[in-house]
Structure 1
Amino acid sequence: MTALSADPSVENDGRGYMTSERRMIQQVAREFTRNEVLPVANRLDPEKGEIPMDLRRKMAEMGYFGILVPEQYGGLGLGYFEYCLIAEELARGWMSVASIIARGQGSFLPKKGNLTDAQADRLRRAAQGDYLAAAALSEPGTGSDLASISCRAVKDGDEWVITGSKYWCTFADGADFLVVFARTSPPPSAAKRHLGISAFVIDKERGTLPTNCAGSPIPKIGYFGWNTFELSFQGTRVPGSALLGEEGKAFYLMTSGLEGARAHTAARSIGLAQAALDDAIAYAGERRQFGMPITEFQSLRFRIAEMATRIEACRQLMYFVCNEIDQGRRCDRESSMVKYLSAEMAERVTSDALQILGGAGYTKLHAVERHWRDARLTKIFEGTSEIQLRIISDSILGRSETDRRMVDMAFGEA
C-alpha cells in the first residue's frame, strides 16, 4: 500500500507558485487518489485488469477529463499547472489513471476560437469523459521518426481509404475515437519528409475497433489498466469530414503541444517516485534488523534524503515549466529538461525504494514494484530520454547535421 503522506516541501514552497486554490486542488486530488484510485490499482494491476468504468465516472464527476477545457464548454478552465498537479497525485496511485485524463481535455479539438456546433458538442462531451481519444501514430518500423510513417490514406470520391499498420496505440479499444496519422501524398523532398502526412478522426463505439481494422493487444510488462494495441487498417473508409486540419500538414499537429505533454510525463514520473518514497519510508519505519529500526542506519537515511531531494528538484522545475506554458512563453528546452530529468529520476528513485524494501519489494504484496515497472516507461514515451538530450544539446550548441534531419521528427505515444 502507498502511504500518500503530506509533502512538507509543498507547504513551504517559496516560489509563489502554490496558491491556496492550488493547494486545495492538490489536496482534493490526493484524497481522491487515496480513497478511489489506490484501492483499485492494488486490486487490478496484479491481474492486469482495466480501469473500471465506475472509476472513470468518478473522475469525470471531479472534472478531471476537462481540466484544460474552457468553462463555457463544461470544463474547469484551468491551466497546465493545475493539470500537472492533479496528474502527479493520480500517478501516486496508478500511472494509467494519471494518463487517461490526457485522453479527455478535448484532445485534437480546438479549445478556443470559433467552433462549429459539432466541435463544441464534442468538446463538452470530452470534458465529461464521454468523448475520449486514442492516437495511432507510431508504426512497427517507426518510433521517434514519425515523418517516416508508411500507413496510407487514399482519396476515393468523397471518402478516404486507410491502409497500413500502427503500433503502440494505447486505449484503441476503449476510446470513443481514434486519431490516425497517414500519408496522403509523397514528401516533396527528402528534407521535407514531414509534409504529406494527414490526420483523420475516426469515431467508433467503445469496446470495438473501426470497421476493416483488426488489432491485438501488445503484451507489456507494465502500464496496466488499459490495453495497448497493434492495429492493421485494411481499407478502412472514413468520410471527407474526418480529415483533421489541413491535408498534408498533420506533422505540425503531432508536434503541437509537446511542451505540455512533456510536463505531463514529468508529473507522472514525479508522482510515481513520490509514491515509492512514501512506501519506502513507511516500510523502513516498521522494519527492524540487528535489534533496531532500519531507519537508524545512516546509509538508508542518506538514501532517503537523496531520493527526496531528487524528487523535489524535478517538482520545482515542473512548476516552472507549467507556469511558463500557462503564461504563453516558449519553454521547449526546459520542457525537454524536465521530462528527461524526471523520467531518469523516477527510474532511479523507484529502484532505490524497491531496494529499501528488500525481498518484500520484489513481490506484488507492495505497490513499489508497480511504480518501478511504470517508471521505466517514462524514459520511452513522449520522446525517449535520448531524444530529449538531442533537443537540449541542440538548443545549447546548435543542431548537428544529423540532428537537423531527426529532432523535429521526435514524438512518442502517450
Structure 2
Amino acid sequence: MIPSPVPVVPPPYHSPEREKLQAQARRFAADRVLPIANELDPVKGEIPRSLLAEMAELGYFGITVPAEHGGLGLGAFEYCMVAEELARAWMSVASIIARAQGAGTDVADEARRNDLLRRSARGEWIGAIALSEPDAGSDLAGVATRAERDGDEYVLTGRKRWTGNAKAADFIQVLVRTADPGPDEPRSAGLATLLVEKERDGFPPGITGRPIDKIGYHGFVTWDLEFDGLRVPVANRVGERGFAETQQWLNIARVHTAARAVGLARAAVEDCIVYLQQRVQFDHPIGDFQAVRFKLATMAARVEQARAFYQHVAHLIDLGRPCEREAAMVKLMATEMAAEVTGDGIQLHGGNGYTTEHQVERHWRDARLTTIFEGTSEIQMKIVADRLLPRSPLG
C-alpha cells in the first residue's frame, strides 16, 4: 500500500499540465508497476513487453521527443518528474525510458532521423548505451574500443561493460575510438559514437555477450559485450562532436539519476509511514516513539530538499543554460541522500528490514547503485571542485 502524499504548497514550477502528468504517472506506478516489481524483482525478472507497451501508450518513451514526431514535446523537467514516480515503484522502469527519448536518432540523413524519432516516441526504438569498458569507466576519455574505417563501414573491435538492456534493445549506441589523439590534443580526441542496429532479443554477428550478475537493479539484464569485427555503416555515426556530445548527454542523465534517487528515497519514507503504524512494541505502534518519529521527519525533509534541487536543475536545462556543475551537484547530493534514507528505512523496519519480505530492501539495493553509475559520487565531487577551484600551475 502507498499512503496518500502529504499535501504541500505547490512548487514554483507547478502547472496544471504538470500536475496532471504527475498524477497519471503516480497512478500507473502504483497500480501497474509496483505489483510487477514485487513479483519479478525477487527472481531477477525482466520488465514484461506488455508493460513497455502500456508505457508507450502513455507517451513515456517520447516525453522529450517533439510533438511533430509523435512525442509529448516536453522538457527535462517533465522527463525527470515522471522518472521519479516510476522509480518509486521500480527503478528499472524509470531507467528504461532513458533508452528512448530520441536516443540513437541523430544520424545525418534527415528522413531517416525523422523516422527514428517517430519510432522512439512509439516505444519501437528502445536502445542500450555502451560507454564503459573494463579499463574506462569514470575515465571515458580512455575508451579503447576501435572503429577502423573500411570503405563505407567501420569495423569494431573491443569490449564494453555495464551495457544495460543490450540484448533486448533495438539498437546499441557505442562510444568508440576512430583515431588516436595527436600530441597537442586532449585524450578524448578521436572518440565518436556509432549506432549499431539490431533485432530485439539477439546479437548480430560480431557481438557476443555475457550477463553480469548484480545485487540489484533488476528488470533488465546488464551485459559485458565483446566486439569482434562488427561492421557498422559510416552513415550510422551519431552526431558530429564526439566526446563533447557524450558529456552533454551525461548532464541530463545525472539529473535523471537524481530524480530516480528521490523516487527511491520517497518510497522508503512512504513504506515506513505504513510500517510504523502497523508494527506494535511495548503496547504501542512504534511510530509513537519520538526517536522513530524524528528519524522519519529527517528522512522526509531530505527527500523534499533533493526534489527541489533536481527540479531546479532540470528547469535550467530546459532554459538551455550550461549546468554541468549543477548537474554534478544534484546527482551527488540526491544519490547520497537516497542511499542513506533507504538505509534508514531498513533501520526503522528493524529485523524485518533485513529480509526480502518488505520492499524497503529493494529500495536500498537500487539506491546504492545511484551513487555509482553516471559517474560515481567521487567523480561528481571532482567535477564540482574543478569548476569552483581551479588548480594552481604548481598543482
- The alignment partner of 1:353 has SS state of helix
Matched, 1:93 2:85: no
**Cα gap change, 1:401 to 1:6, in 2 (>3 Å):** farther
Q: Distance in 1 between matches of 2:354 and 2:116?
A: 44
**Aligned counterparts of 2:188 and 2:180: Cα–Cα separation in 1:** 10
Q: Partner amino acid for 1:338?
A: V
Query: Where does the alignment leave 5 or more consecutive residues of structure 2 unmatched?
Result: none
Task: Give distance in 2, aligned partners of 1:343 and 1:44.
Answer: 24
Determine helix, strand or coil for the equivalent of 1:105. coil
Match 2:162 to one of 168, 193, 199: 168
What's the CA shift string for 1:66-95, capped at 9, x where partnerless?
Answer: 000000000000111111110000000000
Map 1:29-68 onto structure 2 (within 5 A).
29-68=25-64
Q: Which residue of the other structure, out of 227, 241, 261, is the alignment partner of 1:233?
A: 227
> What is aligned with 2:141?
147
The one-character-per-residue Cα deviations of 1:299-353 (angstroms, maximum 9, x if unpaired) are: 0010001000100010111111111111122222221111110000000000001
Which residue matches 1:3? 2
Cross-structure match for 1:307: 299
SS for the counterpart of 1:166 is: strand
Per-residue CA deviations over 1:115-147 (Å, capped at 9, x if unaligned) read 711110000000111001111111111111111
Aligned residue identity for 2:118:
R
Aligned length: 395
Q: Is the 8 A contact 1:275 1:371 kept in 2?
A: yes
CA distance in 2, matches of 1:328, 1:52: 36
By how many angstroms is 1:210 displaced? 2.5
Distance 1:400 1:348, change over 3 A: farther
Identify which range, 382-391 or 371-380, moves more after superposition: 382-391
Counterpart selection for 1:263 from 244, 255, 280: 255
TM-score by length of 1: 0.92
Residue by residue, what CA displacement relative to the aligned partner does 1:211-234 show, whole Å, maximum 9, x if unpaired?
Answer: 111111011110000010000111
Aligned residue identity for 1:218:
I
**Shift, 1:263, TM fit:** 1.0
Structure 1 residues 161 and 401: alpha-carbon distance in aligned structure 2, compared to 1, 3 A threshold: farther
| 1:199 match: secondary structure | strand
What runs of 5+ residues in structure 1 fail to find an aligned partner? Answer: 404-414
Match of 1:116 in 2: 110
Deviation at 1:190, TM superposition (A): 6.8
SS at match of 1:21: helix
Of 55, 64, 74, the residue aligned with 2:70 is 74
Q: State the distance in 2 between where 1:115 and 1:241 align.
A: 8
How far did 1:361 drift? 1.3
Give the match for residue 212 of structure 2.
Answer: 218
**Offset at 1:280?**
0.7
Which stretch shows the higher mean deviation, 101-110 or 167-176? 101-110
Following TM superposition, by how much is the alpha carbon of 1:110 offset from its aligned partner in structure 2, in angstroms? 4.1
CA distance in 1, matches of 2:25, 2:339: 24
Deviation at 1:157, TM superposition (A): 2.2
Query: Equivalent residue for 2:175?
Result: 181
Which residue of structure 1 lines up, in the alignment, with residue 152 of structure 2?
158
C-alpha root-mean-square deviation of aligned residues, in Å? 1.7
Do the aligned partners of 1:4 and 1:92 also contact (CA within 8 Å) in 2?
no
State the distance in 2 between where 1:189 and 1:374 align. 42
In the other structure, the counterpart of 2:349 is 357
Deviation, structure 1 residue 402: 11
Alpha-carbon distance in 2 for matches of 1:29, 1:21: 13
